Structure 1
C-alpha cells in the first residue's frame, strides 16, 4: 500500500499541536470590562478560578513571577468564599485593601521587603483605580488584585510571626507554618472587622528586644533615609585630597560641622571621626583607618538590611520567654540576666574567636563550681600546648598543668616521651589546677551542651576593656561572675550568700546546685535598640551574610 505523505504530515502536525498545547502555560485574560458593576458578582469569581488554575500550572507563581506563600492556602480561602472577592465590592476597593497596601508600602519598617508582597503589580493596579474609571469594571484586574492581596496578607502574616529565614537548630517553635485553616480564619476576621493592620501587628514578637529594635530602626530611617553620602577611596596617595573627601563625607551625615570655617583643623576632623565611630559602635581612636572607611562607605540600605536580619532572628524565639533567663549576645559581647520582664544584671563577656566560635544554643544552667580545674580540650592540647611542651617541658609548670592518664591518675611529666606524642597518639589529658594561672578563674557556670562550653571567670580581666572581644576558644568569659552567682542563689536557704562568700574567701572548692535551673540562650544579634537608638555590632562570624542569602536580601 502506498504511504500517503500528505496525510502523514498532517497527522504529525496535529500531534505536535496537541503536545504543545498540553505543555503550554495558560494565558490569562488581561482585561474583562463589564458594562454594569452588578455583573462583577458573577464574572470576578470566574476570573479568580482561572487565576488559581494558572498559579497551579505555573509553579505556584503569579503573573508578576513572585511565588505565592502556599497555593493550598489560597484555594482553601476562596473555597470558603465561593471565589468571591474579599478586597473589593461592586468595583470599589475596601478600606482593608488600602490598609494592606500601605502596610506593604512601608514593609521595611517591619524588616520586610515590599517587593516580596507583589508591591510592583499592586502599585500599578492601585494607580489604575485612581486614574481610570473603566478599571472599576475590569473583572480580570479586580481578580488579579484580589488574589495578590490575599497572598500578600498570608505571606506577611507568616513572615511577621515566623520570620523569612527557615527555622534552624536553635529555633524554639515546634511549628513553623500557619495552617491553611488558621490563615483563612485570620484573613476573614481581618476583612470582616476591618482591622488588617492590627491583626498583622499582633502577629509580631512582643519581646522587649524586638520592640526596641523596631523603634530604633524607625529612628535610624528618619535620620538617614533623606541623606546621601559619597564613597571614599579605600587607598590613596594624595593625603590632602583624601582629607578633603573625608571632611565632605562627615559633613554629609552631620558628624562634622564646618560652619565655623575650621574644616581643616586636625582636632575638629578627629572630633567628627570620633562622633561617627561612637554612633556606629566602633573602636574610638579618631582615625580614618581601613575599618572606619569601610563603615563610612556602607549605604543606607545596607544598614537597614542589617536591622531586618536581626528582627528575623527575634521571630525565631517563642511567643513567650521564661520569667527568668540568661541571654548572651555573642557579637554584642554582653550577657543579660532577665527577671520578670527586665534586665537585672548585665556583664561584658569575651566570646570565641572566629576560628573557635562560641556555639549558639539553648540550655539550662544547673550549677556553678568554685576554684575549678580546667580540663584542656583535646584540640587546644594538640594545636597549642603540645608544640610548646616539646620545645620547653617547663611550660607545664609555668601554666600550672597536670598530666592525667586514662585512669584519672596524675603522671610525672618527666616520665612522658613528649616527642612520641601527636594527634594520633596522646593517651593523656592536661588539667590546669586552680590558682591565679587557671584560665577559668575563680568560678565556672555549667549548663548541658554537646560543645563542652560554659560561662566562667578568667585570669586576665584586662581583656574586658577591649572593644573587640572575640578571642576565646569557644567558652564565654564573664566579667560579673560574682554578681551572677549571688543572684542565682538569691533566696536559696541551702546555700546562703554569706556561706558562699566565706567559701570564696577561704579558697574552698565547692559545687553549688542552683535551686531553680535557669534557661540560658546564646544568640547572635548584630543590631539592637537602646534608648531609642540603634546599636550595631560587628558581624564577627559572618552569620549576617548567611542570613541575607536565606532572606534573599
Structure 2
C-alpha cells in the first residue's frame, strides 16, 4: 500500500519522536550512567553550534551518514546486531526522505534522523568498548572494567579529525584475543550464510551409517565440503578439520561431542563468537606478564611481555564443582606438598571408601588428626560409626608421587581456596573434555611450569631444588620475588595461531543465559 506523502510524514515524525526513544530505553541506554535521555546528544550539538554531521544541505544523508548506516548494517562484523541500532528503520527513513516535497517537513524529519544517528554513535561506542549488558553479575563474579570514556569529547575529536568510523572501531578492547576474534569473525561472515538450519547428527555408536550420512550433510551446511557426495577420503579430512576447529581430537570418529558440534547452526556459531567478544569487553586490562587459564579450553598459557611462551594442558572442575573465574597474583610455590583434605571431600568421598576398605587410608598415605590437630592412630578410628554429622576429624595426605597434589602446587590469593597443582592422575590429560577436579586446576608437566616460573622470578630456587626436596620428602614453601598475575576466565571461542576460529564446548553451560540476554530481541 502506498501512503500519501502527508500521512507518510506524520508516521515518520511519530516514530522518530516517540517509538524510537522508547526502544533505546528498552535496550539499556537510560539505565547506563553514560546516558541520560538524549542530553548527551543535545550537549554535542550545542557545542557543535548545531552543525549537522550526517545530513547534507538537501536534507538527505551525506557521505558520512551513508558510511555510518553501512557500518550499522555490518555490525555483525563486531559481534553486534544491526537491529540493536534499528538499521532497517533508519534505512527506510533515509530512503523515504527524498519523497517528501515539503522542505520544512523534510527538514524536521532530517533533523531528528541526524540526532538518532548520533545517539547510535554514542551507543555503539559504549557497546564496542564496554559491552551490551548493563550488569555482568549474573554472568561472572569477576570485577568488570570501568567505563571511563568521555564519549562527548571523543565524538567531538572524531568529527574534528574527520575519522568517525576509525574512532569508533578504536574503542574496541586491546586484548590480542579479542582483536583476533574480531578479524576471524569477519572472515567467517564473509564465507558463511547465517541460518538457523541445523542437521541433527547422532553419535556413531547409535547407527554408524546414519551418523556419517548426517555428518556429510552437516559438513556441507557448515561449508567444510562443497558436495555431500565427495569421496570418503576427502570427507574424513573435512571431518578431522571440523574436529580440530572445535577443540576435539582429530580422529574422524563421531563421538558425543563431535555430534553435538555438528548439530549446531551457522547462526549458533556466529552468536558463540559474539558472546565471547562481549565477555572480552568486560575484562580489565591485563599486565604484560601473566598466567592465563581459559576454563573451556583446558589450557594454561604463560605470557611474557604479551608473547606466548608455553602452553600446558589442564584439568578443571567438574560440573558439580565448577572452577571459578579469578583474577589474582601468584604468591608462592610449595614443593612436596601435603594435601589438606577439605571437609566436604573427607565426609563425602574418603569416609565412604574407608568404610568399604580398612586399608584404604594407609595405602593412600592419609593421616588423621583431631580438631586440635593431635595425631590419631588409624587403627583406633571406628569408621563404621562415623557419618557426616559426627565426623570430627581432620585428614591430611602425605607428600609424594601418590599425593593428590603431585609434587608441586602454586598458591594465589582467592576467596575460593583454589590453586594450580601437579597430579598423579595423568590419564585425564589425554581426554578432550577435561573437567574432573573438585575446582582446583591440575597442570600437566607442572614441574616444568614451576621451573619456568622460578626462572622468570629470578629466584634462588629452581627445578633442581624442587627435586631435592622431593627426594628428601620435605615440604618446602618457596616465596616469589615477582607476583605473577593469574587470570582464570571462561571464554568459549578463541583463535589458533593461523587466525582461524576455535570453538570450545560450553562445559558449564554459561553461554545460555547470555545468549538469551543478547539475542532475544534481535531480528
Report TM bin, short chain: 0.7 to 0.9
What's the CA shift for 1:501? 4.7
Q: Render the CA deviation track for 1:118-149: whole Å, top value 9, x for unaligned.
A: 212112123325x6364876134213312321
Question: What is aligned with 2:3?
Answer: none
Aligned-partner Cα distance in 1 for 2:504–2:437:
18
1:71-93: CA deviation from partner (whole Å, max 9, x where unpaired)? 62522431453494543242142
Matched, 1:516 2:482: yes
2:297 equivalent to 1:332:
yes
Residue matched to 1:72: 36
**2:242 paired residue among 276, 294, 297:** 276
CA contact 1:369–1:443 (8 Å) conserved in 2: yes
The answer to whether structure 1 residue 540 and structure 2 residue 507 are counterparts is yes
Matched residues in 2 for 1:113 and 1:501: separation? 55
Deviations 1:453-510 (A, max 9, x none): 1000000222211111111111000113222222222265652435445444544321
Q: Confirm whether residue 108 of structure 1 aligns to residue 76 of structure 2.
A: yes
CA distance in 2: counterparts of 1:299 and 1:136, whole angstroms: 48
Q: Which position in structure 2 is the counterpart of 1:4? A: none
**Which of residues 121, 144, 159 in structure 1 aligns to 2:112?**
144
Q: Is the alpha carbon distance of 1:243 and 1:133 closer, same or farther for their aligned partners in structure 2, counting shifts above 3 Å?
A: same
Residue in 2 that maps onto 1:205? 173
Secondary structure (helix, strand or coil) at the match of 2:181 reads helix
Give, in whole Å, the separation in 1 of the partners of 2:484 and 2:208: 55
Runs of 5+ consecutive residues of structure 1 not aligned to the other structure: 1-27, 34-43
Q: Matched residue of 2:36: which SS?
A: helix
Q: 1:41 matched to which residue of 2?
A: none
Q: Structure 1 residue 87 and structure 2 residue 47: aligned?
A: no
Q: Residue in 2 aligned with 1:5?
A: none
What is the aligned partner in structure 2 of residue 363 from structure 1?
328
* Displacement after TM superposition at 1:343 (Å): 1.2
Higher mean alpha-carbon deviation, 396-405 vs 275-284, is at 275-284
Deviation at 1:410, TM superposition (A): 1.6
1:167 matched to which residue of 2?
A: 136
State the distance in 2 between where 1:68 and 1:352 align: 35
Between structure 1 and structure 2, the one with the greater Rg is 1
**What SS class does the counterpart of residue 372 from structure 2 fall into?**
coil
Distance 1:491 1:310 in 2: 31
- C-alpha displacement of 1:202: 1.4
Q: Is the 8 A contact 2:293 2:489 kept in 1?
A: yes
* Whole-angstrom CA distance in 1 between matches of 2:151 and 2:203: 53
Give unmatched runs, 5+ long, in structure 2.
1-5
Among 233, 250, 253, the residue aligned to 2:219: 250
Contact 2:145–2:283, Cα closer than 8 Å, also in 1: no
Q: Pick closer, same or farther for the CA change 1:136–1:314 going to 2, 3 Å.
A: farther
Instruction: Report the CA distance between 1:394 and its aligned residue.
Output: 1.4
Which residue does 2:124 correspond to in 1?
Answer: 156
Name whichever of 169-178 and 216-225 sits farther off.
169-178
Of 258, 262, 267, the match for 1:296: 262
CA shift at 1:241, angstroms? 6.4
Q: CA deviation at 1:190?
A: 2.3
Match for residue 65 of structure 2?
97
Distance 1:486 1:197 in 2: 47
Using the size of structure 1 for normalisation, the TM-score is 0.81
> Deviation digits for residues 319-356 of structure 1, max 9, x if unmatched?
x3212111111110011111111112211110001111
Partner of 1:14: none
Tell me, what secondary structure is at the counterpart of 1:210?
Answer: helix
Give how far 1:280 is off.
Answer: 2.6
| 1:162–1:315 contact (8 Å) kept in structure 2 | yes
Distance apart, 1:292 and its partner CA: 2.9
Matches within 5 A, 1:9-88: 31=9, 54=18, 61-62=22-23, 67=27, 69-70=29-30, 72=36, 74-82=38-46, 84=50, 85-88=52-55
The match for 2:403 among 425, 438, 448 is 438
**Segment of structure 1 superposing worse, 481-490 or 514-523:** 481-490
Measured after TM superposition, the shift of residue 272 of structure 1 is: 4.3
- CA deviation map 1:354-399 (0-9, x unaligned): 1111111111110000010101111111111111112222111122
Instruction: For 2:484 and 2:25, locate their aligned partners in 1 and report how far apart those are by CA, in whole Å.
Output: 48
Instruction: Give TM-score scaled by structure 2 length.
Output: 0.86
Contact 1:347 1:479 in 2 (8 A): yes
| Offset of residue 307 of structure 1 | 0.4
The Cα shift of 1:551 comes to 2.4
Q: Partner residue of 1:422?
A: 387
SS at match of 1:347: strand
Q: Which moved more, 1:140-149 or 1:167-176?
A: 167-176
CA RMSD of aligned residues (A): 3.3
Change in Cα spacing, 1:159 to 1:490, as seen in structure 2 (3 Å) is same
Alignment-derived partner of residue 283 in structure 2: 317
Whole-Å Cα distance in 1 between the matches of residues 326 and 389 of structure 2? 30
